[in-house]
């Protein structure tokens, strides 16, 4: 189902403004960072948020913005089933998705799209300003499913409709086997390796993987990654993982790091985009609260040369670096040009990612075929662009046979 706003059909934020002005109660479902971001956007548009609630059984004296968090039952008693509910947290767990479906069956529910990084909102004005770039990326997509997923994601970001979002979900098995042909991979680089979870998943589809570089800047995550990597040989695995405690970037240096200790830990000095969609390196526009530390950043080109040598082909690179994808891509432009490795690039951290990153990759190497898939969950996270060089795709397929 497609939703592109027109003068008669506003985007979610303008719809909420009209409903708020008419007196309909608007409530948040969930609390935390996501709720803070949604409140901030609502304030920008003059949208009144009446209250915050959590699922029945999950409220134990919580407060949010100085007010007691209601249970869903209390919210219904107070505001009635005519309230509009804004989902304010993320999950891919089936039990949590069932709770969300329960609320959606009773009330009008939306999952507003707010950027993980940066402050550029994906609203109708943003869409109209970049309509040509979105069209250009859509033309690059190699199959009908990619175009369907792309259309659905754009529709969701503008409408906030969960049914539209859920229709874009894909299966990891299909990607690894039928797009990447991962069974032929021998070498890989994991940028934003976290605790090794992505490499563990890759190993199930690439049994002959022998060498991997894993870059992770967070100290606690890196310790878990290292412990897992060291456990492989005693278990009989031949994969050699070269851990690098550094963020993937376009040059070597030191940046500030928001040390949250989870998979969303991110660089504070993350690169933003200029108005034309090109990356502006070292532009610091983020505001963070809490502990920050200094961390090393390095380009993959340099790390791969030190680890494997200039002549060793690199088969696959994963980029999930919490908003620094543009800089990480620029820091691996030599291996992308020389080896045309298969790429997985996250497209969900910044509003510009859906057009700026594919167009950047196209400039770095015009020989890629582009596929788009999104893994299950709410909101529109885990949007992945898969890039496979035409020559490499044939070589990997023949090797797999």
Q: Are 258 and 306 in contact (CB under 8 A)?
A: no
For the purposes of burial, counting CB atoms within 10 Å of the CB of 176, is it exposed (0-12), middle (13-18) or buried (19 or more)?
A: buried
Q: Which CATH architecture has domain 169-400?
A: 3-Layer(aba) Sandwich (3.40)
DSSP string, 82-136: T-EEEE-S-B--HHHHHHHHHHHHHSEEE-----SSSS---SHHHHHHTHHHHHH
237 touches 243 (CB < 8 A): no
Q: What angle do helix axes 12-21 and 33-45 make, rounded to 10 degrees?
A: 70
Q: What DSSP element (H or E) covers 356?
A: helix 353-364
Backbone angles phi, psi at 372, to 5 degrees: -120, 130
**In this structure, what DSSP letter does residue 141 have?**
B
Instruction: List pLDDT tens digits, range 196-244.
Output: 999 999 999 999 999 999 999 999 999 999 999 999 999 999 999 999 9
Q: Which residue has the higher pLDDT, 19 or 265?
A: 19
The CATH 3.40.50.150 domain(s) of the chain lie at 169-400
Residue 256 pLDDT: 75
The confidence score (pLDDT) of residue 292 equals 73
Q: What is the pLDDT of residues 311-360, one digit of tens each?
A: 999 999 999 998 999 999 999 999 999 999 999 999 999 999 999 999 99
Domain 12-112 has CATH 3.40.50.20: yes
Task: State residue 16 phi and psi, 5-degree precision.
Answer: -65, -35
Q: Where in the chain is the domain with CATH 3.40.50.20?
A: 12-112
Q: Which stretches of 285-341 are assigned E, i.e. beta strand?
A: 292-298, 316-319
The CA distance from 294 to 298, in Å, is 13
Helix (H) or strand (E) holding 243: strand 240-244
CB 332 within 8 A of CB 299: yes
Answer yes or no: pTM beyond 0.85: yes
């Amino acid at each position: 189902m497609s939703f592109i706003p027109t003068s008669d059909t506003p985007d979610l934020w303008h719809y909420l403004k009209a409903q708020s002005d008419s007196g309909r109660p608007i409530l948040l479902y969930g609390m935390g960072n996501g709720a803070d971001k949604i409140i901030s956007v609502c304030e920008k548009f003059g949208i009144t948020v009446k209250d915050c609630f959590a699922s029945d059984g999950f409220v134990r004296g919580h407060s949010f913005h100085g007010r007691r968090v209601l249970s869903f039952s209390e919210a219904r008693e107070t505001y009635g089933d005519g309230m509009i509910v804004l989902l304010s947290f993320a999950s891919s767990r089936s039990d949590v998705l069932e709770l969300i479906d329960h609320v959606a069956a009773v009330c009008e529910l939306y999952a507003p799209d707010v950027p993980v990084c940066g402050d550029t909102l994906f609203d109708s004005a943003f869409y109209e300003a970049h309509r040509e770039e979105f069209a250009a990326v859509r033309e690059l997509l190699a199959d009908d499913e990619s175009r369907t997923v792309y259309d659905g994601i754009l529709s969701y970001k503008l409408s906030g409709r969960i049914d539209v979002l859920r229709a874009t979900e894909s299966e990891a098995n299909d990607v690894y086997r039928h797009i990447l042909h991962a069974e032929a991979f021998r070498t890989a680089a994991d940028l934003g390796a976290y605790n090794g979870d992505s490499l563990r998943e890759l190993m199930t589809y690439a049994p002959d993987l022998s060498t991997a570089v894993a870059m992770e800047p967070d100290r606690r995550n890196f310790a878990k990654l290292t412990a897992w990597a060291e456990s492989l040989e005693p278990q009989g695995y031949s994969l050699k993982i070269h851990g690098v405690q550094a963020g993937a970037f376009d040059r070597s240096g030191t940046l500030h790091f928001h040390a949250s200790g989870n998979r969303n830990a991110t660089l504070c000095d993350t690169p933003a985009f200029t108005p034309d969609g090109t990356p502006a390196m070292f532009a610091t526009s983020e505001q963070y609260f809490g502990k920050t530390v200094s961390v090393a950043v390095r380009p993959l080109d340099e790390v791969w040369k030190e680890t494997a040598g200039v002549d060793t082909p690199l088969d696959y690179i994963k980029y999930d670096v919490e908003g620094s994808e543009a800089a990480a891509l620029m820091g691996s432009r030599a291996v992308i040009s020389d080896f045309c490795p298969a790429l997985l690039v996250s497209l969900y951290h910044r509003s510009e990612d859906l057009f700026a990153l594919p167009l950047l990759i196209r400039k770095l190497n015009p020989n890629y075929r582009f596929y788009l898939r999104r893994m299950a969950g709410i909101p529109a996270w885990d949007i992945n662009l898969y890039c496979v060089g035409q020559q490499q795709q044939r070589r990997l397929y023949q090797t797999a046979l």
